[in-house]
Amino acid sequence: MQNVLSQIFNLENLDVLSYAILKSTAETTVYKLQTTSENFILKLTLAQSCPELCKKEAFGLSYLKKRSNFIIPNVRSVGEYNS
């Protein structure tokens, strides 16, 4: 999964400083990510595997920010995430 995170953030030339798994099920994994510019909550499902992400040229942070079900900008603590 770290490779998937790299694929997403390399599109925006951001470095992931750290990440933590907030929630994990058989189908979905939710991460808290700290990047060089912002903190994010990122939700990935099994359908969004690395090969599929790589096919989506627009699947960078600017794309994810527009989809609130994927990204919640400026999350500063795990407690701010509501499943």
HEC readout, 17-61? EEEEEEEECCCEEEEEEEECCCEEEEEEECCCCHHHHHHCCCCCH
Q: Of 18 and 5, which is predicted with more confidence?
A: 18
Give me 25's structure tokens.
């099920």
- Asked if residue 82 belongs to a domain, the reply is no
Q: Of 18 and 2, which is predicted with more confidence?
A: 18
What single-letter DSSP state applies at residue 11?
T
Residue 17: give the domain boundaries: 2-77
pLDDT in tens, 11-65: 455 566 777 777 777 666 777 777 666 666 666 655 444 444 433 333 444 444 4
Q: pLDDT at position 50, please?
A: 40
| Mean pLDDT to the nearest integer, 3-10 | 57
pTM for this structure? 0.43
Query: Which amino acid is residue 53, in one-letter code?
Result: L
Q: pLDDT at position 49, please?
A: 44
- Asked if residue 83 belongs to a domain, the reply is no
Residue 62's contacts (CB-CB under 8 Å, 6 or more residues apart) are 12
